Amino acid sequence: MSERTNILARIREGLSVPAPVPGTHELHGNEHATAPAPIVPGMVMKWLPPVGATFGDQVALFAKNSFELKTDFQIFDSLGELQGALKTLAQVEGWQRIGTHRGTLNDAICPALGLPMMLTDESYATPDLEKCDAGISECESLIAQTGSVLVTTRSSGGRALSVLPPHHVVLVRREQLLPDLPSGFAALKQKYTGNFPSFMSLITGPSRTGDIERILVLGAHGPKKLTIFCV
Amino acid sequence: MNLNVLQFKSDSERLTHNLDHRERIQSALKKYYVARDDKKARFQDWQAARQAAAETKWEAVNHLDKYLVEFADKIEARGAKVHWASTAEQAREIILGIVKEKNARRIIKSKVMTGEEIHLNAALEAAGYDVVESDLGEYIVQLRHEAPYHFVFPAMHLSRGEISDLFEKELGSAKTDSPEELTMIARRVMRDQYLAADIGISGANFAVAETGMISITENEGNARLTCALPKVHIALMGIEKVLPKFEDLALFLPMLGTAGAGQAVTCYNSMYAGPRQPGETDGPEEMHIVLLDNKRTHLLADIEQRDALHCIRCGACLNVCPIYKNVGGHTYGTTYQGPIGSVITPHLRGIQEWKHLSSASTLCGACTEACPVKINLHHHLLHNRRNAIAQKPVWWEQTLFHLSSILFNHPALWRLAAWGGRIGQLFHPLIQGTILDPARAWTKTRDLPPVADQTFKEYWRSRQK
Ligand code: SF4
C-alpha cells in the first residue's frame, strides 16, 4: 500500500503545475491549462477508414479485408450449405478431432461432422486441445472496417480454443456483422457492462509474423489458418 | 567523455560503414513504408485522428492520479492483484516474490519492454528460473544474448542466414533459408514451453480506467497463449499506459497498428479483465499487475516534456529517423531507441550521461511528423540539449562562444579572421583529416566548403565604386 501512496503523491505533485494542451507546443503560462474538449462518441467514426452505408457494402468490405488478410471468408444462404462446406473442409484437411464449445450454431453444425469433439465449456486438459486439428468457435461480432472477428471467453469457448489449434473456424450469423470498431466496442459494453468476460479479443487474420527480414509468415504461434463461415 | 558517449561514437562509426547492415535495414523499412502509407491513406482523416489521440492521452496523463486509481480499483474488484513499484528494483522483487510463492520453475514471457527496462530476465535467471521469450524476434535476440534492436521489430538487423545459423547452433535444427521454416522451428519449441510454463509474463499496451482492463497488441499469438495457458499471469506496465475509456481503444488500436506496423489493426488485440472469472473454464487462476514508475513521475513533473509520456511505443519515429536508419538500434545503448528513446532516456537514467543522444538527430522533424500522438519529438531533443547545458555548462564551449562574441563585436578582429581564413585555407590540404587539423571531425569524411575570395563587405564596397 505504501508504494501506492508514494507513487500517487509524486504524480499529484508533478501534476500540480498544468501542462499546455496538445497542438500548442509552446508554454503560454496557464492559459491552456484546461482539459481539451472530450472526444464526442461518434466522432471517431468520421476519422477511421470508411465502411460504406449499406449492409451489402459492409459485407463486401469484410470480404475484401479478409482476402488481404488471408482469411477464408464465405457466406452461405442456409445452414445446410454451411454444414456441407464445413464437412468438405474437414475431409480435405483430414481432421481427426475438433475442439469446440456449446452454442446455437455450433450445436447445430458440429456434431454432424461425426468427429470426436472436445468441448471447452467444461474444464479440460490443455494438451488435449493442442492436439485438435481445428478449433470451431462462435464469436461476438465481425467488424467490417478491419476484417476482424471479436471473440470473448463467454461467446467463443474460452481463451485457448481460438488460438491453440492450428486452424480456427468461426461460425457466425450475418446479423453479427458490425460496421466499425466503435460499434464493436459499444456492443460489448452494452451487453456486458458490469460484468465483462475476463478476455476479449479482436482477431484479424490468422496468426502472423514479420520478424525475419519483415517477410510475412502465417501461423507464428497461433492458428495458421482462419476460416469464417457466415450464414 | 563518459563511456556511453564513447560506445555510441565507436558503434555508430562502425555501423555506418557497414553497407550490408544498411541495406538490410533499408529494405525492411521500405516494406514498412509501403504498408503504412497504404493503411494511413484509408483513414478518412488521419490528422484529426492524431489530434484526438493526442488529446485523449493528454487527458489521461494530466489526470493520471485519478485514472490510475480507477484502473487499479476496477481490476482489483475483478480479482487481479495490483502491485505498485517505484523503482526497477522493487518491480523485480515483486515479480520474484510471486514466482517464489508459486513455486514456479518455468516462465514464459511475451514481449515486455518494461521488462527490458528493469532487466527482469537477468534477475529471474540469477534466481535460478528459466525464462523464455515467446515473441519470435525477442526469442532470436534472447538466444543471441542481445537486447532488442528495435522495440517493435526486435530482430530487424539479422538476416535469415544468421538466424538459421543461430538455430542450428542453439537448437540443433537443420540449415534453411526459408523464413517460414525458421518460424516453424520456433513455433515447435515454443509450444512445449507454453504447456509447461507455470507463469506467463506480459506487458500491456493500454490500461483502460473505466473498465479495469489491460489491452495487449501483437501479431503472433504468443501473448494470447502466454495469458491463456499458465496458471498465473503477471503483467508489468508503466504507469503512463492508462486510457480513460473503453471506446478509446477503437481509436488507439488502429492508430497503433497503422503507425507501428502498417496494418489496419494488428492480428490480435486482446483485452484482459482479470483472471479466470466464475463460469469460465480456462485462463489463469491469478492475475498480477505490476505498475512501474521508475522515474516516469520525474518526466511527469516536467511540464515542458510531460507529453513524452503520451508515447504508445509504436516505433514510427524510429522507422523514419535518418540517424536510427544509419546507426541502428543497439548503438543507442538504451531500452528505447530512436527519437523517443533519446527524449526520455535522459529523464529516466540521468541527463549528463545520456545528453549525447539529443545530438544524434538531424532535427529534420520526420519523427514528429510520424508520431500518431503528436509528440513534438525534435523540439524535445533541443530542450534536452538546452537543459543539459544549463545544468552543467561545458567550459570549452563557453570559452569558444565567448571568443566568438569578441570576434563578432570587433570589426577589425573580424577582418583579420576573414583574411586569416583565406590564407589558412591555402595550407589546409597539408593537414586535412590529420590530428593537426582543427576541423578534423568534419574533414575526416567530408570536404570543407571553400572560403569565399571576398567577404560580403568587400564585395559590397567594390560594387559601390
Ligand atoms: S514517440 Fe510517437 S512515434 Fe515514437 S514510438 Fe512513441 S508514439 Fe510512436
Which residues of chain B make contact with A49, given a CB cutoff of 8 A? 42-44, 254, 264
Closest-CA residue of chain A to B192: A127
Can you tell me the mean pLDDT for B5-26? Answer: 91
Query: Dihedral of CA A121/A125/A128/A132: which sign?
Result: positive
Question: Is B372 a pocket residue for ligand 1 (Cβ < 6 Å)?
Answer: yes
Question: Is B256 a pocket residue for ligand 1 (Cβ < 6 Å)?
Answer: no
Can you tell me the mean pLDDT for B225-231? Answer: 97
The pairing of strands A217-218 and A177-178 is: unpaired
Euclidean distance between CA atoms A211 and B261, whole angstroms: 11
Query: Dihedral of CA B50/B52/B57/B58: which sign?
Result: positive
Rg (CA), chain B: 26
pLDDT top residue among A137 and A40: A137
User: What does the pLDDT read at residue A127?
Assistant: 94
User: What does the pLDDT read at residue A194?
Assistant: 82
Task: Show Cβ contacts of residue B284 under 8 Å, excluding neighbours closer than 6 positions.
Answer: B200, B227, B228, B230, B231, B232, B233, B275, B276
Residue B46 Cα to ligand 1 midpoint, Å, equals 15
Could you give the angle at the alpha carbon of B410 between the alpha carbons of B409 and B412, nearest 5°? Answer: 155
**Model confidence at B254, in pLDDT bands (50, 70, 90)?**
very high
Subunit contact A154:B137, Cβ cutoff 8 A: no
Can you tell me the mean pLDDT for B174-184? Answer: 95
Question: Is B111 a pocket residue for ligand 1 (Cβ < 6 Å)?
Answer: no
pLDDT top residue among B455 and B246: B246
Please name the member of A23, A38, A160 whose beta carbon is closest to the beta carbon of B228.
Answer: A160
Global ipTM: 0.94
Which of B61, B317, B376, B378 is the pocket-test mutation for ligand 1 (most atoms within 8 Å of CB)?
Answer: B317
A177 and A62 in contact (C-beta within 8 Å)? yes
User: What does the pLDDT read at residue B125?
Assistant: 95
- Burial of residue B212, with CB atoms counted within 10 A of its CB: 0-12 exposed, 13-18 middle, 19 or more buried: buried
Which of B132, B164, B251 to mutate: most A Cβ within 10 Å?
Answer: B251
Which of A159, A162, A226 to mutate: most B Cβ within 10 Å?
Answer: A159
Mean pLDDT of chain A: 92
**Model confidence at B427, in pLDDT bands (50, 70, 90)?**
confident
**Model confidence at B406, in pLDDT bands (50, 70, 90)?**
very high
Euclidean distance between CA atoms B321 and B33, whole angstroms: 12
Question: Is B317 a pocket residue for ligand 1 (Cβ < 6 Å)?
Answer: yes
Can you tell me the mean pLDDT for A13-35? Answer: 67
B327 and B121 in contact (C-beta within 8 Å)? no
Percent of chain B with pLDDT over 70: 100
Question: Is B370 a pocket residue for ligand 1 (Cβ < 6 Å)?
Answer: yes
- C-alpha distance from residue B351 to each of B151, B229, B309, B387 (Å): 22, 42, 17, 8
* Range in A26-30, A144-148, B306-310 the model is least confident about: A26-30
pLDDT above 60 (res A217):
yes
Which residues of chain A make contact with B303, given a CB cutoff of 8 A? 17-20, 27
* Strands in B72-165 per DSSP E: 81-85, 106-109, 130-133
User: What does the pLDDT read at residue A1?
Assistant: 57
Three-state DSSP class for residue B265: coil
- The model's pLDDT over B14-24, given as tens digits with 9 standing for 90+, comes to 998 999 999 99
* Range in A20-24, A85-89, A209-213, B75-79 the model is least confident about: A20-24
Question: Is B261 a pocket residue for ligand 1 (Cβ < 6 Å)?
Answer: no
Can you tell me the mean pLDDT for A62-91? Answer: 97
**Which residue owns the Cα nearest ligand 1 atom 8?**
B314
H-helix segments, B159-277: 160-171, 179-196, 222-226, 248-261
Which residues of chain A make contact with B160, given a CB cutoff of 8 A? 212-213
A154 and A196 in contact (C-beta within 8 Å)? no
Question: Is B311 a pocket residue for ligand 1 (Cβ < 6 Å)?
Answer: yes
Euclidean distance between CA atoms B383 and B358, whole angstroms: 9
Q: What are the grid coordinates assigned to B21, written together?
A: 547492415
> The whole model's pTM is what?
0.92
**Model confidence at A112, in pLDDT bands (50, 70, 90)?**
very high
Subunit contact B273:A197, Cβ cutoff 8 A: yes
Subunit contact A17:B303, Cβ cutoff 8 A: yes
Which residues of chain B make contact with A25, given a CB cutoff of 8 A? 376, 379
User: What does the pLDDT read at residue A106?
Assistant: 97
User: What does the pLDDT read at residue A21?
Assistant: 80
Element (H, E) at B21: helix B19-42
Closest-CA residue of chain A to B91: A3
3-state secondary structure chain A: CHHHHHHHHHHHHHHCCCCCCCCCCCCECECCCCCCCCCCCCCHHHHCCCCCCCHHHHHHHHHHHHHHHCCEEEECCCHHHHHHHHHHHHHHHCCCCEEECCCHHHHHHCHHHCCCEEECCCCCCHHHHHCCCEEEECCCEEECCCCEEEEECCCCCCCCCCCCCCEEEEEECHHHEECCHHHHHHHHHHHHCCCCCCEEEEECCCCEECCCCCCCEECCCCCCEEEEEEC
Query: Dihedral of CA B126/B272/A169/B260: which sign?
Result: negative
Can you tell me the mean pLDDT for A185-198? Answer: 94
Subunit contact B156:A46, Cβ cutoff 8 A: no
Element (H, E) at B95: helix B88-101
The closest of A55, A87, A36, A32 to A176, measured between CA atoms, is A55
Question: Is B68 a pocket residue for ligand 1 (Cβ < 6 Å)?
Answer: no
User: What does the pLDDT read at residue A24?
Assistant: 58
Question: Is B375 a pocket residue for ligand 1 (Cβ < 6 Å)?
Answer: yes
pLDDT above 60 (res B392):
yes
Kindly state whether A58 is in contact with chain B, defined as any CB-CB distance less than 8 angstroms.
Answer: no
**Model confidence at A32, in pLDDT bands (50, 70, 90)?**
very low
The values of phi and psi at residue B2, to 5°, are -80, 165
User: What does the pLDDT read at residue A26?
Assistant: 52
Subunit contact B303:A204, Cβ cutoff 8 A: no
C-alpha neighbours within 13 Å on the C-beta side of residue A169: 26
- The model's pLDDT over B332-362, given as tens digits with 9 standing for 90+, comes to 999 999 999 999 999 999 999 999 999 999 9
Kindly state whether A131 is in contact with chain B, defined as any CB-CB distance less than 8 angstroms.
Answer: no
Closest-CA residue of chain A to B261: A210
pLDDT above 80 (res A22):
no
User: What does the pLDDT read at residue B424?
Assistant: 85
User: What does the pLDDT read at residue A36?
Assistant: 56
Q: What are the grid coordinates assigned to B316, written together?
A: 514510427
The distance of A84 to chain B (nearest Cα, Å) reads 29
pLDDT top residue among B160 and A36: B160
Which residues of chain B make contact with A182, given a CB cutoff of 8 A? 247, 250
The pairing of strands A199-203 and B106-109 is: unpaired
Which residues of chain B make contact with A148, given a CB cutoff of 8 A? 265
User: Could you tell me which residues are beta bridge partners of residue B415?
Assistant: none
Closest-CA residue of chain A to B306: A19
Could you give the angle at the alpha carbon of B145 between the alpha carbons of B142 and B147, nearest 5°? Answer: 75
Element (H, E) at B371: none
